[in-house]
Structure 1
Amino acid sequence: MASGKAVNHSAPPASYRDEPGYADSASRSSAVLDEVEATFPDEDPPPYEDTPSYTPLISPASTSVAARQSWSIPPPELPFSSHGMNREEYRTRFPNYSTNSSLLCQMIKEQALYPPSYFVQLSGSHQETRLDGNKETKDTIQDFHISVNLTHLLGGLGSGEVKLLADNQRGYRGTRIVSLKPTVSDESHGEQGTDELRKWCDQYVADKSGVKCFTLTRKIINHDTKKLEQLLRSAIAEINYRGHLSVSFPTQHSSLIVYSPGKINEWRITTWIRWVFYCTFLWLFSWPFLFLITSRYETVSVIYKYADSPPGDNVARKCTVMTEVDWFHRWQSAIKRAAIARMVCKDSVLDESFRIAAERADASVEAYRQRPELPSTVNAFADGAMGALGQGLRVASDHNASWGWGGDS
């Protein structure tokens, strides 16, 4: 996790003053103290307080939301497991899952408690053209790459809805192609109240196929990614970025596949063997072969709802944690600051501490802007220099804002 640091604002320099007369200063201080004592002769000094009285930079509501927010805990690792490069698909070939239906069912139920890891990524880049004699080359420069974890917006552990393949729905039911047969209800003669998940696990373990797999799928629905993308693009446009911006919503732990023991399944999930097949284009022959010999069970899925209804004109739409607009307002400042700082976080994400640091920095800047004007230095030359410096900084800021940054060159 990338942790941000609060922007340290040093105190403004003390105004220039000619060397004072120390005797005069001491006499004036004594006079002031005597006047205060005469005005309030019987009053005691204010009591000492351990807690300083000041206005917090972050509202209590914001801190309470941060305290309640539970960041994503990825599903527990399984024995004999591996995953793809993007961590979207996880695989295990632990032999006991293919020989013990009780153990398989228990593992599926435990894994179903965990939502998929959900992110939003913003990536900005531009192209630089270089001339080397008569040769022109274009290099792609990464300006920033920002990721924010959205998993907590799907609810806590166990908030997903487990769904099993319906009898009237086509799917892989231990078959090589999608089919309506067999069904677990056929075996129970239509009895209700039975554990269908356990029945599918029993059927998978009892399957005599030499190559088989059982899949758990995690899905996210009802998230208005289009609206959120528009809001994020508008935020990046406000910092006058002129490069190429891409916004995506990648997901990790989207599926878990249990492979039966055996050399074929061992080879198909071994990383270096997969790369050999990719590079030599042998996958063109191996993929149809694996497709035809594998008995697939894709009957279990877990649905995680961002909201109770799809995005649209439904004013009664209720989100699980917060709306897309509310999340954007909480994170837009942190995202802007990370982009301006040209942060490249490909293996980490902006965390809550970075967001709070950005919020504190905004509050400090706002307080600095609302401060009263500095008193005169009683020196015309110094006052003029400070005024010219401030005007120059404003002109430079306006110049940068008008031209922007990150454009192709």
Structure 2
Amino acid sequence: MLIDPKKEEFLNEQEGTPGPSTAVVPHLNDLPPPTFEESVADRPVNPELAHTDIFVPTGGEEPPPSFTPYEAEYFVSGSGSIVSHDPHLNADGEALYRFLLSHSQDHPKYILSIHGSHTETRTESYTETIIDFDFKIDISQHIAAGPVHWSIPDEEPAYRGKMYKEVDGIFAGEGVRLLDTESGGTCSGESRRKAKKQEKKSSKAWSGERRTRGLPPWVGPGTLSMSATSRNPDMDPFKSTVLKSSKTLREWADEYCASNKRLKEFTYEKVVYGWNIGALEAAVLAAIKSTYYSGTTEIKFNLSYSKIHIRANSRFARALSHTWVKVILWILLIYPFIWLYKRFSKRGGGKWEVCGGAYALKRWEPTEPSYLPPPNFHSVMENDGRIVQTDVGAARLIGMREGEWFQKWEGTIKRAVTGRHKSREVMVEPDDHPTSAAMLLDGYHHI
């Protein structure tokens, strides 16, 4: 039976059943955007982020972080030093530079170790050492500023890529640097030579004196009249040149990465400065003797967690980083041949020990006018000594002075000696805190 198409359309409209439509469906991109009310009514893709400012793209994935730093592999040795054989740090100077900056934010440990002992002779005719007291005090908790990145001067003997110490430039006389005019006033790297015996001896003597007097590592031997309490501009890292080398830290990192030596090593050293260690050691010794102790006293300032080592990426180099491997090689008389290979082979070993970070226990900083005391309080501030007037303006002391520290700890040190205190735990607070019974007394004031 034949049905007219017009009649079929008429019947479909009457019966309400859908029929074929010839209307054109608009494309999705041609549709108008939804209104604000319609958008608000929609269910969010991530309900937990619906009321935050975080943009979540379609699909529900969270946005990636803006920057992901490279996490190099490393381990911490028994002495607290960081050791890394990461291949990326041995090939990319920028990665090595950022690795050093990142781990330099961790302060080194600076511990005062006090040890007392005496000897006794037994009837069996042998001598025995008796430990009277042995305790440690944490000084690194008083580090007030740092790190300040420094580098060794060109004229100072140091490891600059060889297995022996070298100096940069040509010198006339002791400690005098000649400039290379063709290289913009810096020492020529091509004139690097092996350091002389007298140069190494003088450098070693000055390094010990600088540490004893608490001077920063960028202060040279030309300032023999300075001390840790000096207001000399060389003591201020903001007004003196702390990068004494003709190369920057980044350039040293690039030189290390460009080396093809199989047993190369780059070392970043952390040092603590600011206190006159020699004077403080004498004060501690005098306090111990005031208790009438007559035994042998040993006072040491030990620095740990103070070095970052970057070593070559090879199985052999990784094995040599373990102490027990070195011990076995020494027992088998193999390690002497390894040392000869490192020392004399062109592709053997090489050291870079030219830079580090300095951490101040105290230092002088230029102060803003708002920190200056009122005129009628000048005498009070001069007695305190924390704000002084210098030739370049006012300066403010940051950190604790060694005299203040010793005054705080003197009683604890004396009581530890008389009480024969022995402990492996590091002391961080003095033991002269008032008791609860004393605090209940009328008129008791703890100083």
Q: What TM-score results when the alignment is normalised by the length of structure 1?
A: 0.57
In the TM superposition, 1:111-150 aligns within 5 A as: 111-131=103-123, 135-150=124-139
User: 2:422 is paired with a residue of what secondary structure?
Assistant: coil
| 1:303-330 per-position Cα deviation (integer Å, ceiling 9, x unaligned) | 2344449xxxxx9798642222210111
* Higher percent of residues as helix: 1
Aligned to 2:317: 265
User: 2:400 is paired with a residue of what secondary structure?
Assistant: coil
Cα distance in 2 for partners of 1:110, 1:203 equals: 20
The answer (yes or no) to whether the contact 1:306–1:319 under 8 Å persists in 2 is no
Q: 1:249, CA displacement in angstroms? A: 0.5
Aligned to 1:19: none
Q: 1:177, CA displacement in angstroms? A: 3.4
**Paired residue type of 1:127:** T
Aligned to 1:274: 326
User: 2:432 is paired with a residue of what secondary structure?
Assistant: helix
Aligned to 1:97: 89
Q: Label 1:171 to 1:244 Cα distance change in 2 as closer, same or farther (>3 A).
A: closer
Aligned to 1:325: 403
Q: Label 1:93 to 1:178 Cα distance change in 2 as closer, same or farther (>3 A).
A: same
Q: Label 1:143 to 1:319 Cα distance change in 2 as closer, same or farther (>3 A).
A: farther
Aligned to 1:358: 432
Q: Percent identity?
A: 21
User: 2:286 is paired with a residue of what secondary structure?
Assistant: helix
Q: 1:90, CA displacement in angstroms? A: 4.0
Aligned to 1:162: 149
In the TM superposition, 1:267-346 aligns within 5 A as: 267-277=319-329, 284-292=336-344, 293-308=348-363, 320-346=398-424
The answer (yes or no) to whether the contact 1:337–1:358 under 8 Å persists in 2 is no
Q: Label 1:332 to 1:90 Cα distance change in 2 as closer, same or farther (>3 A).
A: same
* 2:426 aligned to which of 342, 349, 368: 349
Equivalent pairs, count: 275
**Paired residue type of 1:113:** Q
| 1:267-302 per-position Cα deviation (integer Å, ceiling 9, x unaligned) | 321121123345567655544443442122223222
Q: Label 1:166 to 1:130 Cα distance change in 2 as closer, same or farther (>3 A).
A: closer
Higher Rg of the two aligned structures:
2
| 1:75-100 per-position Cα deviation (integer Å, ceiling 9, x unaligned) | xx97332425x44x443223332133
Q: 1:252, CA displacement in angstroms? A: 0.5
Q: What TM-score results when the alignment is normalised by the length of structure 2?
A: 0.52
| 1:3-27 per-position Cα deviation (integer Å, ceiling 9, x unaligned) | xxxxxxxxxxxxxxxxxxxxxxxxx
Cα distance in 1 for partners of 2:333, 2:117 equals: 32
Q: Which runs of 5+ in 1 are unaligned?
A: 1-76, 310-314, 371-409
Does structure 1 residue 223 correspond to structure 2 residue 282? no
**Paired residue type of 1:139:** E
Q: 1:180, CA displacement in angstroms? A: 4.7
Q: Label 1:295 to 1:128 Cα distance change in 2 as closer, same or farther (>3 A).
A: same
CA RMSD, Structure 1 to Structure 2 (Å): 3.9
**Paired residue type of 1:246:** E
Q: 1:105, CA displacement in angstroms? A: 1.3
In the TM superposition, 1:46-65 aligns within 5 A as: none
| 1:97-136 per-position Cα deviation (integer Å, ceiling 9, x unaligned) | 21333321111011223332111111011222221xxx31
Cα distance in 2 for partners of 1:95, 1:340 equals: 54
User: 2:112 is paired with a residue of what secondary structure?
Assistant: strand
User: 2:423 is paired with a residue of what secondary structure?
Assistant: coil
Does structure 1 residue 81 correspond to structure 2 residue 68? no
User: 1:175 is paired with a residue of what secondary structure?
Assistant: coil
